[in-house]
Each structure stands twice: as C-alpha cells, then as structure tokens.
C-alpha cells in the first residue's frame, strides 16, 4: 500500500497577512512632490536660458559654427602676432594708398613701388622712418628704376605709434620680409632729426646708416 501523503495543514489554514503601508506601491497624489519644486525649476530654466542667450554668447553662428578647414582658421588670424601690423594696414589705407596703391606697386614713372623696394626692405629702418617723417624729393633710384618726384611729410600728421605701425606694415606686406619697427625707434629718429624742416633727397639718405640691430 502506498503511504498516504500527509496534507500540509498550514498552507490551507494560515490566514492571509493583512496589507500594511510597507507593501504599498509608491504613488503620486496627495503628499507627493510639492508644487514649489516645479516653480523653482521653471525659474531656474528661464534664467539659464537668459544667461546662455546674453552672457554666454547665445547660439551665435560665429561662436558655434566650425571653420570649414584649417586654412580658414589660419586666414582668420593676423599675419603676425604683432598688433602694430593691423594698425599699420589701417594707417596705410588712409595715408599712403592714394600714391603707392593698395597693391604697393605705385604708379610707373610717378610713384615708386613699396613692394620689393630696397628702401623698404633695408635691414634697419632708419632711412624709411626718415622718408615717412620728412618726405622725399628729387632724383631717386628704386630697384634700379629712376624717379624724380616729391613725397609729402607726415611728421606733423602721424604720431610715433602710427608711423611705427605703417612702416612695420609696409615692411611685411606684399611679400616684404623686413623686421617690424617700434614706436621707440620712430621717436629716436624723430628726436635726432627734429631740426630738419625739409624733405630728404635720395643722395642724402644713402649716407645715413640703415640702423637697427645687427643681425
Ligand atoms: C602724395 C603721394 C604720396 C603719398 C601719400 C605717400 N608717398 Fe611715399 N613716395 C611718393 C613719391 C613721389 C616718392 C618718390 C619721391 C622721389 O621721387 O624722390 C615716394 C617714396 C617713398 C618711399 C621710398 C621709395 C620706395 O618706393 O621705397 C617710401 C618707403 C615711401 N614713399 C613710403 C610711403 C609711406 C609709408 C606712405 C604713407 C605714410 C607714403 N609713402 C605716402 C609719393 C607719396
């Protein structure tokens, strides 16, 4: 005979435990997240957007759009780290362009070129600073070509830093590769030549040492 299986009396007879608060599902409703948190969040988001828009530059395309290429990045930089060059470009545009032209090529027979000029590209700047301060007149050779005209003086119009800027600019533009010039160098030449009222001549200038630091 099979032994009779004993029934588990407990499974049948134990009463279901009463539900307590511990078993309850978490739920929204009364006593949930207080309303002020939503108000505070709204205010926070509002002022974050205001900050992004105004103080952080917003989503301005100038700030966020990438450059198309490395070349584009390079072109957006000044030619050298010297801020005088940018100022010099501006001074050139309002004082020299009329005669020497935006290209620095001058006008044949009338205004000599600054691009590639041996006067401009001299190792030292003492002659070219004199030219800009007092002007220049009479027979002149520029890269083997003869000129015989007159250039106005700038010493009463341009300050030392403006002359330093424009001379630095013409010495580094159009493929020219001479060292930049400081306002102190211009002041030095201005002081040394303050008793001279007239424009220079080419013959006089070739006797003036080029100046500048020996390289
Ligand atoms: C009114 C026209 C005129 C203006 C403006 C002018 N120049 Fe000249 N520049 C001349 C002439 C003309 C000569 C040649 C003078 C001669 O024949 O003796 C000359 C000569 C020169 C030379 C020496 C020759 C050479 O080609 O390298 C330099 C450097 C020069 N100028 C720089 C400048 C700079 C920098 C400015 C602006 C600050 C300037 N010039 C403004 C007319 C001008």
Tens digit of pLDDT for each residue in 77-132? 665 578 899 999 999 999 999 999 999 999 999 999 999 999 999 999 999 999 99
Closest CA to 132 of 106, 180, 176, 95: 95
- pLDDT attached to residue 24: 64
Q: How far apart, in whole angstroms, are the C-alpha atoms of residue 132 and residue 153?
A: 6
Ligand 1, residues at Cβ distance < 6 Å: 95-96, 98-100, 111-114, 117, 119-120, 128, 131-132, 136-138, 140, 142, 147-152, 154, 166, 170, 202
pLDDT, one tens digit per residue, over 8-40 is 555 555 555 555 666 666 666 566 788 999 999
Span 64-74, pLDDT tens digits? 667 777 777 77
Position 215 pLDDT exceeds 50: no
Pick from 99, 181, 203 the residue to mutate for probing ligand 1's pocket: most ligand atoms within 8 Å of its CB: 99
**Are the beta carbons of 213 and 123 closer than 8 angstroms?**
no
- Which single residue is written with the structure tokens 């106005």? 152
Supply the pLDDT for residue 214. Answer: 40
The answer to whether residues 118 and 182 touch, using CB atoms and an 8 Å cutoff, is no
Residue 139's Cβ-side half-sphere holds a number of Cα atoms within 13 Å equal to: 3
């Amino acid at each position: 005979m099979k032994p009779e299986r004993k029934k588990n009396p407990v499974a049948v007879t134990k009463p279901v435990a009463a539900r307590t608060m511990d078993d309850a599902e978490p739920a929204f409703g009364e006593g949930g997240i207080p309303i002020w948190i939503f108000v505070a969040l709204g205010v926070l988001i509002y002022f974050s957007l205001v900050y992004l828009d105004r103080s952080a530059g917003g989503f301005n395309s100038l700030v966020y759009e990438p450059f198309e290429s490395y070349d584009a990045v390079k072109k957006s930089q000044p030619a050298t780290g010297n801020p005088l060059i940018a100022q010099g470009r501006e001074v050139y545009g309002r004082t020299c362009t009329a005669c020497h032209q935006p290209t620095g090529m001058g006008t044949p027979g009338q205004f000599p070129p600054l691009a590639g000029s041996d006067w401009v590209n001299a190792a030292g700047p003492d002659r070219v600073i004199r030219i800009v301060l007092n002007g220049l007149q009479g027979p002149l050779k520029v890269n083997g070509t003869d000129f015989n005209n007159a250039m106005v003086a700038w010493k009463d119009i341009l300050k030392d830093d403006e002359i330093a800027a424009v001379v630095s600019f013409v010495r580094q533009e159009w493929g020219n590769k001479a060292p930049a010039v400081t306002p102190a160098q211009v002041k030095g030449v201005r002081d040394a030549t303050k008793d001279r009222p007239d424009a220079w001549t080419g013959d006089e200038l070739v006797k003036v040492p080029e100046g500048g630091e020996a390289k």
